[in-house]
Amino acid sequence: MSIVLETRGLTRRFGGLIATNDVSLSVEKGARHALIGPNGAGKTTLINLLTGVIQPSAGTIRLEGQDITGLSQNARVRRGLARTFQINQLFPELTVLETVALAVSERVGAGTAWWRSTGSHRDIAEEATAILDQFNLGDVMGERTAVLPYGRQRLLEIALAIACRPRVLLLDEPAAGVPEEERHEILAIVAGLPADVTVLLIEHDMDLVFSFADRISVLVGGAVFVEGPVDAIARDPRVREVYLGEGDHG
């Protein structure tokens, strides 16, 4: 198996605080890799470093063997690295269809087309519709995003990332805040992601992590504490101690 996403010695300091400390991570092609850790372990900082929202103080990031450390956020997306957000980051004024059409049009390079109307790009409309159907959002595609119920906004959050047709997808707590009775829909979507898309999942929900991931990295204090296959991590007494804790995990 080849490595698609790799960091070496990735470090980020905020003043005296080391939020990410010498993280070297290797994610294999097609992997379902989970990143777990207690609050404040630096998971979000790591995601922000990987996607280029912030720049590292030291270290490198490679995507499919190419150094992307200095690339802008949008350039990384065009190279095939997409993400979702822990707190919905959508476009409240756009319709559901426009939202996904936007991502499709950027991916196919139509984002600078300024003369023909968006709807006259038939291929974009059709692909966007296909993605929405896949996410069971076809019936609300004419609605404004702002009026969607939270659970469906959460689905759109993932659909928008998928519309970028990523080779590596970073899922930041996809089921965060979703009511219990709607969780299964999110989980089914996550489980049904295309096998050739490599997924790095940041998650608090241990049921989701253990049912979904094939490999887990445990982040503690900004550094990788331990990494390994799911069953090994589940059995690791040190992990139980620092992360799962006694009776901490319900």
- In the complex, which residues of this chain contact another protein (CB under 8 A)? 51, 53, 72-75, 77-78, 82-83, 85, 89-95, 97-98, 101-103, 105-107, 110-122, 124-126, 128-129, 138-139, 141-142, 144, 160-161, 163-164
Beta-carbon contacts of 75 under 8 Å, excluding residues fewer than 6 positions away, are 52, 68
Please give the C-alpha separations between residue 90 and each of 11, 66, 81, in angstroms, as whole numbers: 29, 30, 18
By C-beta, is 156 or 216 nearer to another protein?
156
Query: Is residue 33 within a helix (H) or strand (E), and if so which, with residue range?
Result: strand 32-36
User: How many Å is the maximal CA-CA distance in the chain?
Assistant: 62
Q: Which two tokens stand for residue 244?
A: 């799962």
Q: Tell me the closest approach of the beta carbon of residue 216 to another protein, in angstroms.
A: 25
Q: How far is the CB of 20 from another protein (least distance, A)?
A: 19
Least distance CB 126 / another protein (angstroms): 7
| Residue closer to another protein (CB basis): 158 or 216 | 158
Report phi then psi at 4, rounded to 5.
Answer: -100, -35
Q: Which is nearer to another protein, 41 or 101 (CB)?
A: 101
**Ramachandran assignment for 226, one of left (phi > 0), alpha (psi -120 to 50 degrees), beta (any other):** beta
Q: What Rg do the C-alpha atoms of the chain give, in angstroms?
A: 19
- Using CA atoms, how far apart are residues 74 and 53, in angstroms rounded to an integer? 10
Q: Would you say 147 or 188 has its CB closer to another protein?
A: 147
Q: Nearest distance from residue 68's CB to another protein, in Å?
A: 14
| Nearer to another protein (CB atom), residue 92 or residue 194 | 92
Report in angstroms how near the CB of residue 73 gets to another protein at its nearest.
4
